[in-house]
Amino acid sequence: MVPANPALSVAVIGSGYVGLITAACLADFGHTVTAVDRDSARIALLLQGQSPIYEPGLETLLAIHQPSGRLRFTTDLPSAVRGADLIILAVGTPPRAADGHADLTQVHSAAAEIAAALDHCAVIVIKSTVPVGTNRHVEAILRQIRPELNLPVCSNPEFLREGSAIADFMQPDRLVIGSNDGAASDVLRQLYRPLIEAGTPLVITSRESAELIKYAANGLLAMKVSFINEIADLCERIGADVQDVARGVGLDNRIGPKFLQPGPGIGGSCFPKDTLELTRTAQDAGAPLTLVESAITANTARKAAMADKVRAALGGSVNGTRIAVLGFAFKPNTDDVRASPALDIVRALLADGALIQGYDPAAMAQAARELPGVSWVADAYAACHKADAVVVLTEWSEFRTLELERIAELMAGRVLVDLRNIYDPQRAVDAGFTYVSIGRRTPSGQTIMSESAA
């Protein structure tokens, strides 16, 4: 069953975030990849060499591998899967509104379409984040439709972060393969040969374990961020500095320095959705994950607390004030605003009667759809024009290098609420600001306007 040619023929079903990155990077490994999507506008854009998502490095890969013929795009699933050695499912699994469980409609319908189109044996790989048991269930769907074909289903979760997805794919910490078929695992080894030869650790396990590895990793990371956010709150009460605490804690090799940056809350299309699914799965199995449940609760409360922090910095009310908001994406280097804390925080400020002047380097079009009440401007300085306060919600690099003195001169007020701790407190105070950040000491010379800034 393992193909003789080291370069495989691969079909990727779903050209959203995960599918596109996977397809482009696998073409870079030398495989021939056809990426499929039902969205014809998306495919039309890709066929012109343009990326429908903002991801550093992706357009370069498209520019190399589309002309070489190693990377193709189509809306026609049957033509893409015919002849493929390996078919990767990378379709969406959004949470169901009713119960928080992942909605597997797209996974199931793609599986049925694949089975109907295939006339040869192939390895099916599920890359979408799916609840435990899904790989086994998809295999049953395939077997029911095509009992005569050997179509083993393997779990191969992705650990890509938006904004650094290509580097994450090319230099992963590990590869996880969940399989109960030795030959299918070998085809996956062949797929990832460049990474395995470069020494990437490989975890080969059961499909259930592989499915849970993805959720457990995201759950643990979400708890880590929620933990440092609560430590930041404690720092504010007792006069400690969370940046020093995080550094001192993170230098312990058993803990590590990553994911200890406090902020306005966890957003994005993965952590909120995956933590919810994980807790639902655990509850259904009678083994509740109370720590992850607490992280979800803390994250919901955090966004309201951050709006309170802005209100407090402006003397208790934002009604009638003009506020510059810098950053709407859930993190830098992405145009994604899904579950971004900025949305909840800005909605709360708008509801309280604030006028919001907003700017984001990449996510304004996306944010504008969610926040029709915001006035959008062309750059950070324009956002600060005549503002009473400026609030930083995403740590884009270009915000770190803003001239604070120039901003102070443009503004009507002098309040800087930095919910990503990107400025040195003393520098902000020296530029004339009342500076409020997260979990850090009040700099000398600061005018204390609120309890949360103290």
Q: Which 300-339 residues touch ligand UGA, going by CB under 6 A? A: 330-331
Establish whether 25 is a catalytic residue.
Answer: no
260 binds ligand UGA (CB under 6 A): yes
Q: Of 117 and 392, which has the nearer Cβ to ligand UGA?
A: 392
Stretch that binds ligand UGA, among 119-127, 270-278, 296-304, 442-450 (CB under 6 A): 270-278
Stretch that binds ligand UGA, among 181-189, 257-265, 305-313, 422-430 (CB under 6 A): 257-265
Q: Of 34 and 128, which has the nearer Cβ to ligand UGA?
A: 128
158 binds ligand UGA (CB under 6 A): yes
Out of 266, 310, 323, 411, the residue judged to bind ligand UGA by CB under 6 A? 266
| Nearest distance in Å: CB 348, ligand UGA | 17
270 binds ligand UGA (CB under 6 A): yes
Chain CA centroid to CA 212, Å: 18
Q: Which 85-114 residues touch ligand UGA, going by CB under 6 A? A: none
Joined tokens for residue 149: 């074909």
Stretch that binds ligand UGA, among 110-118, 160-168, 179-187, 343-351 (CB under 6 A): 160-168
Q: Of 158 and 388, which has the nearer Cβ to ligand UGA?
A: 158
Out of 95, 143, 233, 259, the residue judged to bind ligand UGA by CB under 6 A? 259
Beta pairing class for 434-436 and 375-376:
unpaired
Q: Of 151 and 329, which has the nearer Cβ to ligand UGA?
A: 329
267 binds ligand UGA (CB under 6 A): yes
| Nearest distance in Å: CB 94, ligand UGA | 13
What angle separates helix 17-28 from helix 58-65, to the nearest 10 degrees? 50
Q: Of 42 and 331, which has the nearer Cβ to ligand UGA?
A: 331
* Residues near ligand UGA (CB under 6 A), total: 21
226 binds ligand UGA (CB under 6 A): no
* Ramachandran area for residue 96 (φ above 0: left; ψ -120 to 50: alpha; else beta): beta
| Nearest distance in Å: CB 104, ligand UGA | 16
392 binds ligand UGA (CB under 6 A): no
Beta pairing class for 175-178 and 202-205:
parallel
Q: Of 127 and 414, which has the nearer Cβ to ligand UGA?
A: 127
159 binds ligand UGA (CB under 6 A): yes
Joined tokens for residue 425: 């407190």
396 binds ligand UGA (CB under 6 A): no
Per-residue binding letters, 368-387, with ligand UGA (x by CB under 6 A): --------------------
C-alpha distances in Å from residue 364, one per residue of 90, 273, 375 = 26, 23, 10
| Nearest distance in Å: CB 270, ligand UGA | 3
Q: Of 167 and 448, which has the nearer Cβ to ligand UGA?
A: 167
360 binds ligand UGA (CB under 6 A): no
Active-site hit among 154, 235, 270, 384: 270
Q: Which 14-73 residues touch ligand UGA, going by CB under 6 A? A: none
218 binds ligand UGA (CB under 6 A): yes
Q: Of 329 and 389, which has the nearer Cβ to ligand UGA?
A: 329
How would you write the chain as a 3-class SS string?
CCCCCCCCEEEEECCCHHHHHHHHHHHHCCCEEEEECCCHHHHHHHHCCCCCCCCCCHHHHHHHHCCCCCEEEECCHHHHHCCCCEEEECCCCCECCCCCCECCHHHHHHHHHHHHHCCCCCEEEECCCCCCCHHHHHHHHHHHHCCCCCCCEEECCCCCCCCCHHHHHHCCCCEEEECCCHHHHHHHHHHCHHHHHCCCCEEEECHHHHHHHHHHHHHHHHHHHHHHHHHHHHHHHHCCCHHHHHHHHHCCCCCCCCCCCCCCCCCCCCHHHHHHHHHHHHHHCCCCCHHHHHHHHHHHHHHHHHHHHHHHHCCCCCCCCEEEEECCCCCCCCCCCCCCHHHHHHHHHHHCCCEEEEECCCCHHHHHHHCCCCEECCCHHHHHCCCCEEEECCCCHHHHCCCHHHHHHHCCCCEEEECCCCCCHHHHHHCCCEEECCCCCCCCCCCCCCCCCC
Annotated catalytic sites, by residue?
270
- Residues in touch with ligand UGA (CB under 6 A): 129, 158-162, 218, 221, 225, 259-261, 263, 266-268, 270-271, 274, 330-331
